[in-house]
């Protein structure tokens, strides 16, 4: 593995764990300040709202600036805002700071993907994506554990300060990665530029309908997963009668499944389109096992299958779009499609919040699973038609 990949993966791993530590600690701080679950729930709306605010223009920005400097500055800006956040107990100030942190996070997510696409050679991208997927899933498991350790030796505020330090370390590691030298960088971004970019993306999407279709399917897939996952805790504890500790073990099983899938992705390079289709199909099987579960073992089996398969979908999709789209417009294309995904996610979550008041949780989970099976069918039709494509 080259130094560039090591620096990138280590930076991503440290930042990802730090984000988990920060978010869990912030939840507890707000709960302690307000004693209100609703105040905590508001935090979960900030990320999709931040995507709505930024993704209409962020792609244009990402495709035209010095992207290495951008991701470093985004890390440092978040580190500064997090340190300021620790110093206040005023709820409105906390919410404003958190919202801006999520805005910078949304831009960073787009920027680091584009940067890694340009700095990693095409024949290494799929394996790198698998390593990145494993780093992300490891953070999913290690983040809560590290947060608990900080709570044991200090407070939630200490955990948040450590995240600020983690972001600074991640920025220093990115500083050791190479710059990207290409024509057209450092262009000024204006409203007219953004309008022109929207038209460029529209024309490209209209011309390459097969690529647009896979983007739309993946967006709907993520929306379905988000919708079912939002019911996960309530379904496990109320419908399946699990204790909080048993549910925590179930979540760990999901993390292990994701890591196992990422390792398989590194060991055996599956064609991206194959990874997406079979991953979605197996993910649907996993959610069906979970939705029909009557005990912990059945739910655990479903969780392992769906998380294992989801790693293939994630790695396959990232590799697919890296190979299918021109690198010069990758930021704009992914940002605009993510904007539509965020809007759909917010709509579905609001509908689900209403649905939980009139329909049983098991029926809602099974309805979400049925939608997932419908997507698997559409993926199957797409796969049969395009499986001979080079990517």
Structure tokens at 374: 């419908």
Query: Which residue has 């994506």 as its token pair?
Result: 129
Q: In whole numbers, what is the pLDDT of the chain averaged over residues? A: 84
Q: Can you give the pLDDT at residue 270?
A: 81
Dist. CA 282–CA 302, nearest whole Å:
10
Query: Is the distance from CB of 283 to CB of 306 less than 8 angstroms?
Result: yes
Structure tokens at 109: 């997510």
Taking Cα atoms as reference points, which of 310, 313, 309, 65 lies closest to residue 187? 65
The model's pLDDT over 48-105, given as tens digits with 9 standing for 90+, comes to 788 888 888 888 888 888 889 999 999 999 999 999 988 888 888 989 999 999 999 9
Other CB atoms within 10 A of residue 235 CB: 23
* pTM as predicted: 0.81
Taking Cα atoms as reference points, which of 31, 35, 116 lies closest to residue 319? 116
Q: Can you give the pLDDT at residue 1?
A: 59
Dist. CA 126–CA 382, nearest whole Å:
21
pLDDT band at 181 (very low <50, low <70, confident <90, very high): low
Give the least confident one: 59-73, 237-251, 267-281, 282-296: 237-251
Domain with CATH 1.20.1250.20 in the chain: 1-176+185-189, 191-391
The model's pLDDT over 100-135, given as tens digits with 9 standing for 90+, comes to 999 999 899 889 989 998 888 888 888 888 888 888
Q: Can you give the pLDDT at residue 3?
A: 84
Please, which contacts does 220-224 make with residues 24 or more away whose CB atoms are closer than 8 Å? 220/344, 220/375, 221/280, 221/283, 221/313, 221/372, 221/375, 222/341, 222/345, 223/341, 223/344, 223/345, 223/348, 224/368, 224/371, 224/372, 224/375
Q: Can you give the pLDDT at residue 38?
A: 65
Q: Can you give the pLDDT at residue 366?
A: 87
Of residues 11 and 29, more confidence is placed in 11
User: C-alpha 90: how far from its chain's center?
Assistant: 29
For domain 191-391, the CATH architecture is Up-down Bundle (1.20)
CATH fold for domain 1-176+185-189: Growth Hormone; Chain: A; (1.20.1250)
* 206: pLDDT strictly greater than 60: yes
Percent of the chain exceeding pLDDT 90 equals 19
pLDDT band at 163 (very low <50, low <70, confident <90, very high): confident
CA atoms within 13 A on the CB side of 92: 0
């Amino acid at each position: 593995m080259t130094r560039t990949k090591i620096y990138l993966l280590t930076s991503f791993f440290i930042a990802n764990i730090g984000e988990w530590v920060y978010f869990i600690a912030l939840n507890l701080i707000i709960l302690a300040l307000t004693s209100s679950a609703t105040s905590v729930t508001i935090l979960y709306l900030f990320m999709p709202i931040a995507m709505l605010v930024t993704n209409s223009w962020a792609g244009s920005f990402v495709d035209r600036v010095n992207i290495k400097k951008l991701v470093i500055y985004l890390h440092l800006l978040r580190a500064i805002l997090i340190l300021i956040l620790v110093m206040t107990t005023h709820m409105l100030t906390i919410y404003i700071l958190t919202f801006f942190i999520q805005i910078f996070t949304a831009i960073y997510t787009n920027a680091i993907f584009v940067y890694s696409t340009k700095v990693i050679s095409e024949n290494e991208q799929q394996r790198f994506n698998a390593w990145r997927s494993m780093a992300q899933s490891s953070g999913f498991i290690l983040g809560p554990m590290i947060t608990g350790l900080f709570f044991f030796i200090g407070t939630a505020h200490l955990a948040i300060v450590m995240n600020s330090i983690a972001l600074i370390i991640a920025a220093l590691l990115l500083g050791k990665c190479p710059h990207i030298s290409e024509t057209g960088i450092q262009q000024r971004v204006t409203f007219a530029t953004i309008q022109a970019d929207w038209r460029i993306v529209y024309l490209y999407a209209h011309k390459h309908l097969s690529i647009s279709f896979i983007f739309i399917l993946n967006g709907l897939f993520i929306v379905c997963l988000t919708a079912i996952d939002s019911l996960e805790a309530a379904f496990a504890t109320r419908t399946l009668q699990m204790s909080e500790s048993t549910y925590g073990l179930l979540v760990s099983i999901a993390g292990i499944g994701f890591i196992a899938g990422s390792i398989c992705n590194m060991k055996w390079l599956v064609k991206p389109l194959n990874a997406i289709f079979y991953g979605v199909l197996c993910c649907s099987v996993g959610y069906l096992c979970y939705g029909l579960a009557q005990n912990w073992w059945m739910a655990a089996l479903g969780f392992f299958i769906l998380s294992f398969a989801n790693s293939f979908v994630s790695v396959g999709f990232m590799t697919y779009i890296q190979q299918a789209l021109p690198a010069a417009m990758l930021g704009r294309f992914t940002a605009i499609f993510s904007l539509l995904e965020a809007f759909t996610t917010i709509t579905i979550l609001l509908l689900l919040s209403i649905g939980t008041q009139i329909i049983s949780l098991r029926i809602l989970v099974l309805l979400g699973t049925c939608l997932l099976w419908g997507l698997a069918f559409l993926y199957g039709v797409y796969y049969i038609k395009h499986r001979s494509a080079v990517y």
